[in-house]
Amino acid sequence: MNKKSASEMSFHIETLGCPKNRVDSRRMRTSLLNLGYNEAKKPEAADIFLINSCSFIREAQEETISTVFDALKIKEKKSPHMKVGLVGCFVERFSDAVKNDIPELDFTIGTQRYHEVGGLISEKFSVETAGHAANLAAASINADSHKPFAWLRIAQGCNRSCAFCIIPKIRGELKTYPVDSIEKQWADELALRGAHGTPVREVVLVSQDTISQGVEEIERIVAQLSAKDEIEWIRLQYLFPDRRVLDLLDLWAKYPKLTPYLDIPFQHVSPEILKAMKRPSDTGLFREIIDRAHAITPDFEIRTSFIVGFPGEEEKHFADLEKFIAGHRIDKLALFRYSHEAGTYAGDKLQENTSDEEKYRRINQLREAHLETRKQYATGLIGRREKMLVDEIAGGEITLRRAHDAPESDEVVTIPLPYRASGRSQDDLASAASPATACRVGDMPLVELKAYTEYSFLGEIV
Ligand code: SF4
């Protein structure tokens, strides 16, 4: 690879883990494209194979390791010149093990230098670089650029110390991004799509702990994005349940582009377990937040997550969780099996007392209870007409989303395409007669909800 120029080289990025990693992968991609690197048409063809890793819990760690070995296998069998690099959370958390146990890796980069990845790679492998704005425009071949939404990162890291969480150790202290940096991310996003790319109708603001940005700063960002005509929806993700969320909710009255959606991980509802988790144990606040959101509009939807089987959780604590789910309208619920992680307070200092089998049993029980309440609420929405966002047209159907659902994690609405139209190109579809066949990704038609099955709706364009 010596003496090659960046324009002769291609890269592939494999992204694991949460939406925050997707944002960071985009930053790596921008940094490589800016220096003249090309995006590989398929992973095996890449000169540089980057894995943006996750190390949050055991399953994520296993997935990272198997992805690394898959990439190394490609290198060994098909592409010996390929450079394989591991980036992000896993490197930060297991740096010694990565160095000692996977010497085949060509390079590693931690969580603080995503935006410099292009420069770091060029330096390490002596690649000649050039500014290549054209590569940014041409990069709209990337699947993410065909989505009508974009994630923008508003902060990095976390200053809290939840007992089960390794993130502050991996991502470092909270570092908030000023409005200018969000504006820059927005400009990069548009450049990546090019003049004829899919329009961005929705912006999702992500960070590990969005509320710690402070209500004033969040408002500045929301106001700036609200002023952009092409953006229809602004969504905030990952709000730590502290009192400032109550003030934050006032913004919904001022900024109609904010979606009626709150993503607020409670993690548990038993004050005893919350204290053991080193999280605020005022569950009255959780109720206040839900009530305040529903006072803005009764159809405000709440997403939360609970960890099941945390050290010390007994049947009575679990019963509190069940009661809470039955007694409150939680619209989207993520249930996690507690994972005993070395390096976390709980993993190092607390004793596990619940078997994995029992954790799964509890999760299933909660899921059943939630599905029941969700079904009741969702079937009550049948017949409603809402403006929805077309996310995808493929496989004989249109996939849309309500404002109440976040991309790639919540419910969707599908509309089957007429039989003859389903195998045709978007241009063909546009010339056909029915409203469904004329739809394009990024459109926001008025759709009537027709039926609800487990966690998805069937709709019809009005
Ligand atoms: S707020 Fe979130 S990221 Fe921060 S320590 Fe708690 S769980 Fe981890």
Residue nearest to ligand 1 atom 8, measured at CA? 165
Compute, in angstroms, the gap from residue 160 CA to the centroid of ligand 1. 6
Encoded tokens for 226: 């609200």
Beta strands in 268-349 (DSSP E): 301-308, 332-337
Q: What is the pLDDT of residue 141?
A: 44
Compute, in angstroms, the gap from residue 164 CA to the centroid of ligand 1. 9
Compute, in angstroms, the gap from residue 159 CA to the centroid of ligand 1. 8
Compute, in angstroms, the gap from residue 360 CA to the centroid of ligand 1. 23
1-15 per-position pLDDT tens digit:
456 899 899 999 999
Closest atom, ligand 1, to C-alpha of 208: 3
Compute, in angstroms, the gap from residue 223 CA to the centroid of ligand 1. 27
Best residue for ligand 1 mutational test, from 56, 153, 158, 213 (most atoms within 8 Å of Cβ)? 158
Domains of the chain with CATH codes: 6-137 (3.40.50.12160), 140-377 (3.80.30.20), 385-461 (2.40.50.140)
**Is the pLDDT reported for residue 160 higher than 90?**
yes
**Is the pLDDT reported for residue 344 higher than 90?**
yes
Residues with CB under 6 A from ligand 1: 158, 160-162, 165, 167-168, 208-209, 240
Closest atom, ligand 1, to C-alpha of 168: 5
Q: What is the pLDDT of residue 144?
A: 59
Q: Which of 253, 325, 299, 254 is nearest to 402 (CA)?
A: 299
- Sole residue written with tokens 């409603």: 384
Where does the pLDDT of residue 350 fall: very low under 50, low under 70, confident under 90, or very high at 90 and above?
A: very high
13-67 per-position pLDDT tens digit:
999 987 778 888 888 888 898 888 998 988 999 999 999 998 888 888 889 999 9
The residues pairing with 238 across neighbouring beta strands, listed in sequence order, are: none
Q: Which of 134, 255, 257, 254 is nearest to 201 (CA)?
A: 257
Closest atom, ligand 1, to C-alpha of 161: 5
Q: What is the pLDDT of residue 20?
A: 77
Compute, in angstroms, the gap from residue 89 CA to the centroid of ligand 1. 14
Helix residue spans in 145-270 (DSSP H): 167-171, 179-193, 215-226, 244-248, 251-254
Closest atom, ligand 1, to C-alpha of 171: 3
Closest atom, ligand 1, to C-alpha of 209: 1
Q: What is the dihedral of CA 109, 112, 115, 119, to 10 degrees?
A: -40
Compute, in angstroms, the gap from residue 122 CA to the centroid of ligand 1. 34
Backbone angles phi, psi at 67, to 5 degrees: -65, -40
Over residues 293-315, mean pLDDT: 96
Over residues 86-114, mean pLDDT: 90
